[in-house]
Structure 1
C-alpha cells in the first residue's frame, strides 16, 4: 500500500493499525466536504490529530493518489485514485439498476426531486438522485455527497429505526457538524427522530434549507436495521400538509418495492 504506512506497520503493528485507522478517518472527513475541499486546520480540529500527524498521513495519501491538494488554496479533496478503485468495487446495493428505476418512477409520479440515501458509518451517502418534471428543483444534495446522520430527512428516518440510546449517541457525535449541513439544532433532530420512530416517516420543513420541505421514509429490512432511506424534496409551497399523506403512501409503496428487489441483505455499517 502506501510506503510510509507500510514501514510503520512493519515496525510496530499497533502503530501501523492506528495509522490506517487515522487515514480512513481523514478520508471520511474530506469526503464530507465535497469538491470544495477542506483545510488541514479544520481536519485537525474535527479529528483531534496534531498537525504533523495529519500532514504526514495526508502526504502518504497524496502519493497514492487517494487525496489531492489544491495549488491555489491548499485545501485537500479526494483524489482520482479513489474513483479508480471505486470502479472495481461491488455496488453495496444489490440489483441497483432496478432500484434506480424505482427511484426514477417515484420522481416521475411526484414531479419532484427524490433522493436515495445509503448509510455509511455516521453519515448518509447520496446513492441516487432523480428529478421530476416540476421546473423549480430542490437540488440540495448531489450524487455522491455525504451528510451526517441527522442532517437530512433521510438520515432522520434511519436514526428513527435505531434503538433510542444508539440514535442519541449518533446525534451527539454529529452535533458539531449540523450547522454546516442543515438548519436544525440537536433538539430539532431528536424531535424529528422521535416523530419518525412513532409515525414511520419524517417531515422536514425548512430543516435543511429555507423554503424547502422534504418527506422521507426508511427502506424496510427483513432481518436487520434499515440502511437505506428515500425522500421527496421540493419547494415548501408544493408539499402542503394536505399532500403529505399521499407522498407517504407513495414512499411506502416504493420503499417496499426496493426492499423486495434488494432483499435488504447488506450488513449495515
Structure 2
C-alpha cells in the first residue's frame, strides 16, 4: 500500500483549505451586500465554526472578505474588486452582447436580464432598463442566485440532461426560500415545461406581482451558459403578450449566439 509522504499530506491539506475558502467566498457572494452570519456559513458549507473562522480571518487579512463591526456579518471585500479589474470577462465580446440586451429592453420597454451560469448559480452579468416607468428590478448587476431561483436559470436547467438538472435542483433546494417563491417541485415543473416549449414563464415565481419570460442563448457545441429574460410587473405581461416576447427573445438570443460563438464558458 502506498503511503502518503509529508509533502503530499501538506499539499493535500493546502488544496483542501483553498477549496474551503472558495466555497465560503461563493456562499458570501450569494448573500450580497447584506452579508451572512458565520453560523449560516457553517451550516451551508458543513464546516466547523473554528475552521470557518480561521479561513475567514485569512480572507479578511487579504482584503477578500470584510466583517461588519455592527452585526458581525461577512461580506465580500474590496480586494476581490481589485482582482476582478485585472481578470478577463468570461464573455469576450461583452460590449456587443450588452448592446443586444439594451436593444431588447428598448424594444420591450421592460427590464432585461443577461444571466451567466456560475457553478450551481446564475450571475447577473447585465441588467438593461426599458422606458416603462415601473421597473421590475428583482436582481441587481453582479447578484448571484441559485439556478432554480430565476426564470433565466430555469431555462439553463432545461438545457441540461434530466439527471444533471435534477441534481442541481436538489442542491438548490435549501436556498430557494431566500430568493424566490418556488419549491423544488415548482422548479422541476417549470424546467420540464421549458424543455417542451423552449422558453420559461414565471408568474409570481420570483416575486409577487412580477412576471418574467426567459430563454437560453443557444450554444454551438457545448451546453448553454447564458440566458436572457424580460421581467415586468404582471399587468405588463398578460398571456396574450407572451408569444411576441418569445419571438423577441429568440431573435436576441440568436444574435448573442452569433456574436459569442463558444467563447462564453460556464463554471
Normalised by the size of structure 2, how large is the TM-score? 0.96
- 1:211 aligned residue (206, 209, 215): 209
**Residue of structure 2 equivalent to 1:102:** 100
Matches within 5 A, 1:1-269: 12-269=10-267
- What is the CA–CA distance in structure 2 between the aligned matches of 1:224 and 1:267, rounded to whole Å? 9
Post-superposition CA distance 1:147-181 (Å, at most 9, x none)? 00110000000000000000000000110000000
Q: Match of 2:211, SS?
A: strand
The answer (yes or no) to whether the contact 2:60–2:66 under 8 Å persists in 1 is yes
Normalised by the size of structure 1, how large is the TM-score? 0.96
Q: Match of 1:242, SS?
A: helix
The answer (yes or no) to whether the contact 2:90–2:265 under 8 Å persists in 1 is no
The answer (yes or no) to whether the contact 1:106–1:114 under 8 Å persists in 2 is yes
Q: Match of 1:232, SS?
A: strand
Q: Match of 1:12, SS?
A: helix
CA RMSD of aligned residues (A): 1.2
Shift, 1:94, TM fit = 1.7
